[in-house]
Amino acid sequence: MEFAVWTKGLTTLAVDCLVVGVFEDGELGAEARAVDAACGGRLKALLARGDFAGRSGETLLATDLPGLKAARVLLTGLGSRKQFARKGWRKAWSAACAALARTRIASCAVALDRPPARELDDYYFGRGIAELAHSTLYRVNDLKTGKKPPAAALARVLAGPVRRAEAAARGLKHGAAIAAAARVQRDLANLPANVCTPTFLAEQARALGKRPASVSVRVLDERAIRREKMGCLLAVSQGSAQPPRFIVLEYRGARAAQAPVVLVGKGVTFDTGGISLKDPPGMDEMKFDMSGAAAVIAAVTLAAELRLPLHVVGLVAAVENMPDGRAVKPGDIATSASGQTVEILNTDAEGRLILCDALHYARRFHPAAVVDIATLTGACVIALGHHHAGVMGNDQALVRQLLEAGVRADDRCWQLPLTEEYAEQLKSNFADFANVGGRDGGAITAATFLGKFTQGLKWAHLDIAGTAYYSGAQKGSSGRPTPLLADFLIQRATG
């Protein structure tokens, strides 16, 4: 899809459709008034008939209005004028995109009223236009054999009104790149686990790294992983017929020898729970347990695509967690790459076991910051539901950067406390500590476990178990937290 900014002459633009907003009180937005005047009051007449109420999420397509170059006008509801803010604007534009996708409209000009600049400046306006257009039009890469419905025709979007065209254009460019990265994450995560194995994930990382030539990709196979003494990662992997992979992506966009941001992703390509086997209902969704890994691959390639002046390293621990005669058993003790020993009381708490070895590996880069991303705990879903990811860390400035990036990117996270008392729950009689600390505060004790491996590093942890994918009728990857990570990296590069 192609994006550009329009600055004037809305009614004379040679596009298939104009997209205008209507408030709930039936009042037209400023841009819609200009369109209405050009077509001799036909929009007002339509509203007077009561055919469109301007409710948030509603759309109506009007065709062949006089006085306009465009053959169609799509009305989209802005909701209540008093409460109109960024959220309402986003919903109006997404609803419009969904409506456009059902037509043969190939080009449109957006002319929605905009919330005040403190809510949505020109840059984030551009980003929102491009990101939402792409994410609304996203189709799951399914393996259905029937005839595919035709792809949406929408190929060109002119965005406005804008105050500073340059900032909006930069936003459009970034938004399209973020959407492409989110698509990488979604496509990988939506694949079934019999296709998306650790080996496949490594191959995909290699291929994606080749596109922006500035990303180098190294893959450690089982032997190399053994050489790194990643005993916890190998304990998880030992029950699977699929060999593990440890993927290292590196993008050097910074001039000097800048300390890198290291992103670490949980790449459990399928999580059965192992010997601590999960209940059958919903187990298929554990193919999404590599969403953190997919987000890391997406974020590193995005940094390269945008040529951000940053040094970014992505580390992906890719394994499959299976029950088997060779599988790790409750009570087994593994030695992590850090040398610390872990009593594996529950083989379903496998994410932290692969991450602890990956976090230790991060030390060799002398990172400025380390952020791990993982579908780590059901407890985080209980605590926060599906709207906010959980964030914890040992460096409040870093945590704050992630919280703020989430707000700006509309991909929010919420901090949970990570104080020393929780360590009590991880005590073991047989090893340095156990890998589980009981049900209470499960998202926090998981982070506490990771914290044992990040001492001296500036580290934060994103638990995306509740946000990385949708269940139910909309089952599929959400592409989160790629927008958050993108904003975090862009901010570090520019601010």
Which residues are known to be catalytic?
A: 278, 352
Residue 248 site contact among Mn ion, Zn ion, ligand BES, none (CB < 5 to 8 Å, cut-off depends on kind):
none
Please tell me the distance from the alpha carbon of residue 175 to that of residue 388, in angstroms, as a whole number: 21
CA distances to 72, 85, 260, 394, 489 from 397, in Å: 49, 28, 16, 9, 15
**Is residue 463 near Zn ion by the rule CB under 5 A?**
no
**Is residue 289 near ligand BES by the rule CB under 6 A?**
yes
CB nearer to Mn ion: pick between 350 and 487: 350
The stretch near ligand BES (CB under 6 A) out of 3-11, 51-59, 100-108, 375-383 is 375-383
Q: At what angle do helices 482-494 and 291-305 cross, to 10 degrees?
A: 40
CB nearer to ligand BES: pick between 351 and 479: 351
Q: Which of 198, 193, 199, 195 is nearest to 287 (CA)?
A: 193
Q: Which residues contact 156 (CB under 8 A, 6 or more apart)?
A: 1, 2, 3, 4, 15, 106, 107, 108
One of 271, 372, 411, 487 touching Zn ion (CB under 5 A): 271
The stretch near ligand BES (CB under 6 A) out of 91-99, 202-210, 298-306, 377-385 is 377-385
**Is residue 47 near ligand BES by the rule CB under 6 A?**
no
Longest CA span, the chain: 82
**Is residue 349 near ligand BES by the rule CB under 6 A?**
yes
Q: Which of residues 224-283 bind ligand BES (CB under 6 A)?
A: 271
**Distance in Å, CB of 248 to ligand BES, minimum:** 23
Residue found by looking up tokens 């914890």 in the block: 392
Q: Which residues contact 437 (CB under 8 A, 6 or more apart)?
A: 422, 425, 426, 445, 448, 449
Q: 112-115, long-range: CB within 8 Å, 24+ apart, which pairs?
A: 112/19, 112/20, 112/21, 112/29, 112/31, 112/76, 112/78, 113/21, 113/23, 113/29, 113/30, 113/31, 113/32, 113/78, 113/84, 113/89, 114/89, 114/161, 115/84, 115/85, 115/86, 115/88, 115/89
**Is residue 351 near Zn ion by the rule CB under 5 A?**
yes
One of 36, 187, 271, 305 touching Mn ion (CB under 5 A): 271
One of 58, 348, 372, 487 touching Mn ion (CB under 5 A): 348
Q: Is the CB of residue 102 less than 8 Å from the CB of residue 66?
A: no
**Is residue 351 near ligand BES by the rule CB under 6 A?**
yes
**Distance in Å, CB of 371 to ligand BES, minimum:** 18
CB nearer to ligand BES: pick between 310 and 356: 356
One of 103, 214, 258, 346 touching ligand BES (CB under 6 A): 346
Angle formed at CA 401 by CA 400 and CA 407, multiple of 5 degrees? 90
One of 250, 350, 372, 487 touching ligand BES (CB under 6 A): 350
Residue 377 site contact among ligand BES, Mn ion, Zn ion, none (CB < 5 to 8 Å, cut-off depends on kind):
ligand BES
Angle formed at CA 75 by CA 73 and CA 81, multiple of 5 degrees? 145
Q: What is the DSSP letter of 259?
A: P
**Distance in Å, CB of 374 to Zn ion, minimum:** 8
CB nearer to ligand BES: pick between 395 and 432: 432
Q: Is the CB of residue 470 less than 8 Å from the CB of residue 478?
A: yes
Site string for ligand BES, 423-462 (x = CB under 6 A): -------------x-----x--------------------
Structure tokens at 453: 């491996």
**Distance in Å, CB of 316 to ligand BES, minimum:** 16
Please report, as ranges, the residues that interact with Mn ion according to CB under 5 A.
271, 348, 350
Please report, as ranges, the residues that interact with Zn ion according to CB under 5 A.
268, 271, 289, 351
Please report, as ranges, the residues that interact with ligand BES according to CB under 6 A.
271, 289, 346, 348-351, 375-379, 381, 436, 442, 465
